[in-house]
Amino acid sequence: KRPIIIDTDPGIDDAVALAIALFSEELEVKLITTIAGNVSVDKVTNNALKLLKFFNKDIPVAIGSNEPLLVAFEDASNVHGQSGMDGYEFEEPTQELVLSEHAVNAMRRTIMNSSVPITLVPIGPLTNIALLLKMYPEVKENIDEIVLMGGSASRGNKGVMSEFNIATDPEAAKIVFASGVPIAMAGLDVGWKALVYPEDCAALKDMNKTGSMIHSLFQHYRGGSMKTGLKMYDSCAIAYLLKPEMFEIVETHVDVELNGSLTAGCTVVDLKGYLKKPNNAKVCLDIDTVMFKEWFMDSLKKCD
Ligand code: BDR
Ligand code: CA
């Protein structure tokens, strides 16, 4: 099994990605770390605990940063609801799985103690990952790859050109892309095509316990408007881990714009080599939507 750490801000699409990863036979989730993003770090941590209780999985959880490195925090409760995971009455979780260490220290310990290089899977803003790489650069030697959901080679969803996870903490994202650790980026180019339609959602309802929970959450995702498809952004990072052949991937240089008055927080994906910088990321530019849908539904069937 491939050992991974998921850094997350659940988040309705995070909840789905977590389900698939936690029930996958090919992945071993060693640690879950939380990050302020879709809502505050307290709320997303509680959401992660609710999900683990629901799935009956005892994975340690470490609480991460409650704000970006420099910019002011803006959440996405307009998309995911006030709780970050509106739409399902979860049982209140206990705090037993919560570690006393900060996420950054828990990641360091888990990485350094692993006999096999660990893959980091950030599906929220990159604050914790940037802090980890700056505070404990020795971890780089035992990180296999960072497979992240974030950024875009085209347009944005937070600003004209910026994607939410990157734009929430652009300085952190810049640190991560400049870190020298191999990166795979599943951004909006694929997230916008990884869609769940009303008929898929209907099929989830009676699929199994997880499917029916996700069905309920989907009634509240983006205020319940499903006709144009619900975007399974964070599942794309998990899909990349498990079935990379569904993506069209290009290796290139990616940097993050910090100062542009119109473009701050955007990933600059140098597809034509203007910057003359070495490649630092494998960027998913396209996705086979038929393969994705089949993989997605099959994966959720196993979440039982
Ligand atoms: C990203 O932003 C969040 O709202 C989602 O959970 C996803 O990680 C998409 O831009
Ligand atoms: Ca997320």
Q: Is the pLDDT of residue 175 over 80?
A: yes
Query: For residues 84 and 220, what is the distance between their CA atoms, to the nearest angstrom?
Result: 10
Give the pLDDT band of residue 80 (cuts 50, 70, 90): confident
Average pLDDT over residues 238-251: 98
The answer to whether 260 and 165 are in contact (CB under 8 A) is no
CA–centroid distance, residue 14 to ligand 1 (Å): 8
pLDDT digits (tens, 9 = 90+) for 250-274: 999 999 999 999 999 999 999 999 9
**Best mutation site among 39, 40, 168, 233 for ligand 1, i.e. most ligand atoms within 8 A of its Cβ?**
233
Distance of CA 125 to the CA centre of its chain: 8
Q: What is the pLDDT of residue 156?
A: 98
**Nearest ligand, CA of residue 162?**
1
Average pLDDT over residues 48-74: 98
Task: Give the SS3 label for residue 137.
Answer: helix
- Work out the mean pLDDT of the chain and round it to a whole number: 97
What single DSSP character describes residue 140? G
The count of other CB atoms within 10 Å of the CB of residue 125 is 30
Q: What is the pLDDT of residue 79?
A: 86
* Ligand 1 atom closest to residue 38's alpha carbon, by position in its atom list: 4
CA–centroid distance, residue 113 to ligand 1 (Å): 30
Q: Is the pLDDT of residue 55 over 70?
A: yes
In the block, residue with structure tokens 């803003």: 125
Q: What is the pLDDT of residue 224?
A: 65
Query: For residues 167 and 152, what is the distance between their CA atoms, to the nearest angstrom?
Result: 11
Q: Is the pLDDT of residue 77 over 70?
A: yes
Beta pairing partners, 255 = 268
Q: Strand (E) positions, the chain?
A: 2-8, 27-34, 61-63, 98-102, 118-122, 143-149, 183-186, 195-196, 230-231, 247-256, 267-270, 281-287
Average pLDDT over residues 67-79: 94
7 close to ligand 1 (CB < 6 Angstrom):
no
Q: What is the pLDDT of residue 225?
A: 74
pLDDT digits (tens, 9 = 90+) for 110-150: 999 999 999 999 999 999 999 999 999 999 999 999 999 99
Tell me, what's the ipTM? 0.99
Average pLDDT over residues 207-229: 89
The answer to whether 117 and 140 are in contact (CB under 8 A) is no
**Best mutation site among 165, 230, 236 for ligand 1, i.e. most ligand atoms within 8 A of its Cβ?**
165
The count of other CB atoms within 10 Å of the CB of residue 100 is 8
The count of other CB atoms within 10 Å of the CB of residue 64 is 28
pLDDT digits (tens, 9 = 90+) for 11-46: 999 999 999 999 999 999 999 999 999 999 999 999
Distance of CA 90 to the CA centre of its chain: 21
Average pLDDT over residues 73-99: 93
